[in-house]
Amino acid sequence: MSRFSYKDCGKIGRVQNITDAWTANGVSTDSRSLEPGNLFFALSGERFDGHGYVKDVVQKGAAACVVSEKWFLQNGINFSGEKFVVTDDPLLALQNLARLHRQRSDASVIAITGTNGKTTCKEMTHAVLSKNFRTIATQGNLNNEIGVPLTLLKIEQDTQAAVIEMGADKKGDIAFLCDMALPDSGVITNIGTAHIKSFGSLEAITETKCELFDFLTADGVRFVNIDDERLRAHSKQTKGLVTFAINNEADYRAEIISLNELACAKIRIHAPEGHSFDLQLEISGRHHTHNALVAAAIGFSLGIDEADIVSALESYRPPSNRMGIRRHNDVTILDDTYNANPESMRAALDTLMTIKRKGRAVAALSDMLELGSISTEEHAKIGDYILKKKPDALFTTGTASKIMHERAETISGNFYYEKKNDMAAELKKFIKPGDIVLVKGSRGMKMEEVVNELIS
């Protein structure tokens, strides 16, 4: 567990009752999971205020609490003798400590961002690197201004590699996270329309994601997806460049040899110097080939053997809500409920129609959020795509998804419900043994509740 001293705390705020003989073991922002000896950061948000739990964490054995100046002036007198780090902004203090911790680490940091696939890419890369190195990675998708510093603060003295996922909601986010993580290598999986409401344009999304490449030093390694035309320009800088692709010539190229009955791809990876090898993925969807290709390229660049790369990627299994396969009463449920945007929605529909089945292909879909002014257009396009793919039935719920329902009107079983619970109940009655059901929608639509109803 990482250790932080009196001097470290003095660099992020004003210390109270902390001596130079003192150290904290690890950090916490959650009173429920705090362990004795942790440095507790009292973060505040729209729905919570960590300052309300200071008494609890002190009783649980927190080494010290990082609190705001305002709170300390009003409440510090009630905690006589307790250890505090007082600062204008506890979140900024957390980020500053993470930057300090990263600066004194020799670990190789690989940063991964992109519109789609970054979490799966990160998990696959972690699996590959863990074959040879003591590796940490972002937990789940904790890829924001809180999650990234928390991950960096888990780097220990013997950590050799850290795989850091980075998300962005606005321009400057990636540069801000890079300034903390100081990555040695960077990957942008692709550029798409997710979060376009807050960015305003695809060009702004591209510019923000590419802050990762712009931040890397001349010695940094850029892994560039030249299948994405918006990223291809970054392949012109030859120093520290590794390219990957499926549809174009590249340093690392993958081809899909076959898809099994669950639409998991068997792929062949062509590496430099005429070397190639095959592997069988165990995650549904041909689009995950790019993620495996990135993980393999990073592994090779760090000297990991082919056999270990194949073993890691063939052993990888996705989380249940990211193209996870659920089976209940001989019905196959394709759980892709974590999130949705136009690109991932098309990929999920492709996968649904590729999986071999005894019965019907059923799509249960909800809104794609954060699309702003292009929401109507993009939902209409998905409706058209549903018509093209021709599933046997379509169940939709959500305000924007009504457009998908209307555009796909000629699908024989086409049902729309204003209430998600009603859709789930009717879908459960509709499906039969042998059917396969895709369940997908944006995070805010909580479509996992539909999955839970189907398997209950």
Pair (357, 376) in one structural domain: yes
| Residue 165: strand, helix, or coil | strand
Q: What is the Cα–Cα distance from 380 to 105, expressed in whole angstroms?
A: 49
Mean pLDDT of 148-171: 95
| Residue 240: strand, helix, or coil | coil
Number of H helices, E strands in the chain: 17, 22
Q: Residue 259 CA to chain centroid, in angstroms?
A: 25
Q: What is the Cα–Cα distance from 137 to 164, expressed in whole angstroms?
A: 6
Q: Residue 246 CA to chain centroid, in angstroms?
A: 22
Tell which residue, 11, 156, 182, 212, has the closest CA to residue 96: 11
What pLDDT score was predicted for residue 199?
82
What pLDDT score was predicted for residue 113?
96
* Domain span including residue 302: 105-315
Please name the amino acid found at residue 293: L
In the predicted structure, residue 227 carries a pLDDT above the cut 70: yes
Please say whether the dihedral angle defined by the alpha carbons of residues 3, 136, 195 and 244, taken in this order, is positive or negative: positive
Asked whether the beta carbons of 331 and 164 are under 8 A apart, the reply is: no
Domain stops at, among 296, 315, 334: 315
What's the structural domain count of the chain?
Answer: 3
Asked whether the beta carbons of 264 and 314 are under 8 A apart, the reply is: no
Pair (138, 244) in one structural domain: yes
What pLDDT score was predicted for residue 328?
94
Asked whether the beta carbons of 116 and 189 are under 8 A apart, the reply is: yes
Pair (343, 288) in one structural domain: no
For 285, residues 6+ apart whose C-beta sits below 8 A from its C-beta are: 263, 265, 323, 347, 348, 350, 351
What pLDDT score was predicted for residue 47?
85
Pair (284, 358) in one structural domain: no
Pair (350, 441) in one structural domain: yes
- pLDDT band, very low/low/confident/very high, at 238 (cuts 50, 70, 90): low
Q: What is the Cα–Cα distance from 196 to 202, expressed in whole angstroms?
A: 7
Pair (37, 163) in one structural domain: no
**What rounded mean pLDDT belongs to the chain?**
94
In the predicted structure, residue 134 carries a pLDDT above the cut 80: yes
Asked whether the beta carbons of 384 and 392 are under 8 A apart, the reply is: no
Spell out the alpha helix ranges (H) of 393-447: 401-407, 420-430
Pair (189, 306) in one structural domain: yes
Pair (179, 273) in one structural domain: yes
In the predicted structure, residue 396 carries a pLDDT above the cut 80: yes
| Residue 411 DSSP class | S
Crossing angle of the two packed helices 288-301 and 306-315, in degrees rounded to 10? 150
What pLDDT score was predicted for residue 347?
95
What is the model's pTM? 0.92
Domain stops at, among 289, 315, 341: 315
Furthest-apart CA atoms within the chain: distance in Å: 74
In the predicted structure, residue 417 carries a pLDDT above the cut 70: yes
**Strand ordering across the sheet containing 241-245:** 135-137, 161-165, 108-113, 185-188, 221-225, 241-245, 252-259, 264-270, 276-284
| pLDDT tens per residue, range 199-226 | 888 888 888 999 999 888 778 899 999 9
| pLDDT tens per residue, range 281-315 | 999 999 999 999 999 999 999 999 999 999 999 99
| pLDDT tens per residue, range 6-64 | 999 999 999 999 988 899 999 999 999 999 999 999 999 888 899 999 999 999 999 99
Tell which residue, 417, 389, 381, has the closest CA to residue 402: 417
Q: What is the Cα–Cα distance from 373 to 381, expressed in whole angstroms?
A: 14
Asked whether the beta carbons of 72 and 123 are under 8 A apart, the reply is: no
Pair (38, 150) in one structural domain: no
What pLDDT score was predicted for residue 196?
80
Query: In 10 A of CB 140, how many CB atoms?
Result: 13
Please report, for the domain that includes residue 89, its CATH number: 3.40.1390.10
Q: What is the Cα–Cα distance from 122 to 126, expressed in whole angstroms?
A: 6
Pair (109, 171) in one structural domain: yes
Beta strand pairing status for 64-68 and 84-87? parallel
As a residue count, the chain comes to: 456
Pair (295, 189) in one structural domain: yes
State percent of the chain over pLDDT 70.
Answer: 99
| pLDDT tens per residue, range 323-350 | 889 999 999 999 999 999 999 999 999 9
Q: What is the Cα–Cα distance from 54 to 39, expressed in whole angstroms?
A: 11
What pLDDT score was predicted for residue 48?
87
- pLDDT band, very low/low/confident/very high, at 156 (cuts 50, 70, 90): very high
What pLDDT score was predicted for residue 58?
97
Please report, for the domain that includes residue 262, its CATH number: 3.40.1190.10
For 202, residues 6+ apart whose C-beta sits below 8 A from its C-beta are: 191, 193, 196, 230
Please report, for the domain that includes residue 385, its CATH number: 3.90.190.20
Please say whether the dihedral angle defined by the alpha carbons of residues 404, 405, 409 and 411, taken in this order, is positive or negative: positive
Domain stops at, among 315, 347, 370: 315
Mean pLDDT of 387-404: 97
Tell which residue, 425, 417, 433, has the closest CA to residue 454: 425
Pair (250, 114) in one structural domain: yes
Asked whether the beta carbons of 91 and 51 are under 8 A apart, the reply is: no
- Structure-block tokens of residue 177: 């996270």
